[in-house]
Amino acid sequence: MIAMKRFTLLLLLFILNIIPVNAQFFFYNDKYYDRDLLIETGLGLGGMNCLTDLGGNKGFGKDFIKDLNIKNTRLSGSIYIVANYKSMVALRLEGTIGKVVSYDSILKDFQPNDADRYRYERNLSSNSNIFDVMLVAEIHPLFFGAAYEDPPRFSPYALAGVGFFSFNPRTKLNGQWYDLQPLHTEGQGFSEYPDRKPYKLLQINIPLGLGVKYEISPLFNARFEIIHRTLFTDYLDDVSTSYIDASLFPNYLPPSRAIVAALLHDRRGEIEPTHIPHPGYERGDPKDNDSFFTIQLKIGYTMRERRR
């Protein structure tokens, strides 16, 4: 996070230093044509975080952002191309890479009677690389129905669309990483749990976001943006519902995999050596799906035709 803050400060200083002294240069110049349809390409850098069943903030699990733990933020990057029509609406194709992490041990500083004691002692963890591609529409309301002689350089906007992402929750046991989805830790696909279907690692999401765009020059702009992805799965962290009977794993998995699944589906014994597993006890909350979001600074380059 310290590195992220330093990068943000340096980027802002860079932007402020290259803004022309003459504020009319961008809008009144004889160097570039101003077309109705302009193409922009750019890069983004910032943070990625998630809201899942694991970890979270202190106390009982809360709804949405109230349960967000900033310590879980990890680096994300993106590349995009935008078709912008009259500065009013735009269509953007963007690819993003990042990582989401969630772990109950983040709550280790609980007090004996704190409500988050259960989540800490549950002792589950997960992380996953994220690869996301989205197609979204941008709406810039300041430019609707307005004919500016001196258009505003700041343009707040909203965006929405559809995304397609890949993930693969993993965790570490005795120094070795294991993919969790093939272990069926909550009995996904077992006949004893017909309502628990195996989850896919390639899925659709719905991106919704807000941002502000600043025109630095005729060719370059800066954006600050927050995009939340609503998911259709509760297994971003491989945790959703209740514990199962560990004796079922050998019925569905190869012996070596069944042993690992039994160790990873209930890890409370690593905190409490006297713990006795109880199939059916709460492991996660199936009422709400998981989600992830990005907060990024972006630099865009607009392809303008130069006047001759």
Q: What is the pLDDT confidence band of residue 31, given thresholds at 50, 70 and 90?
A: confident
Q: What is the pLDDT of residue 55?
A: 75
Q: What is the pLDDT confidence band of residue 149, given thresholds at 50, 70 and 90?
A: low
Q: What is the pLDDT confidence band of residue 32, given thresholds at 50, 70 and 90?
A: confident
pLDDT tens for 164-209 read 999 999 999 999 999 999 999 999 999 999 999 999 999 999 999 9
> What 8-state DSSP symbol labels residue 305?
P
pLDDT tens for 79-112 read 999 999 988 999 999 999 999 999 988 888 766 6
Q: How far apart are CA 75 and CA 73, in angstroms?
A: 7
Residue type present at position 204 = I
Q: What's the average model confidence in pLDDT over 14-26?
A: 41
Residue 16 has pLDDT above 50, yes or no: no
Taken in order of first residue, the domains within the chain and their CATH numbers are 2-17+31-182+194-238+288-303 (2.40.160.20)
Q: How far apart are CA 99 and CA 83, in angstroms?
A: 28
Dihedral angle sign, alpha carbons of residues 241, 205, 223, 79: positive
Q: What's the average model confidence in pLDDT over 150-174?
A: 94
- Report the mean per-residue pLDDT for the chain: 86
Residue 7 has pLDDT above 50, yes or no: no
Do 196 and 184 form a contact (C-beta atoms < 8 A)?
Answer: no
Dihedral angle sign, alpha carbons of residues 16, 20, 25, 29: negative
Cα 100 to Cα 72, 76, 129, distances in angstroms: 7, 10, 7
Do 130 and 96 form a contact (C-beta atoms < 8 A)?
Answer: yes
Q: What are phi and psi of 258, to 5 degrees?
A: -65, -35
pLDDT tens for 58-68 read 655 455 565 67
Residue-level length of the chain: 308
Q: What is the pLDDT of residue 63?
A: 54
Q: What is the pLDDT of residue 106?
A: 84
Q: What is the pLDDT of residue 194?
A: 95
Residue 248 has pLDDT above 80, yes or no: yes
Chain-centre distance of CA 113, in angstroms? 32
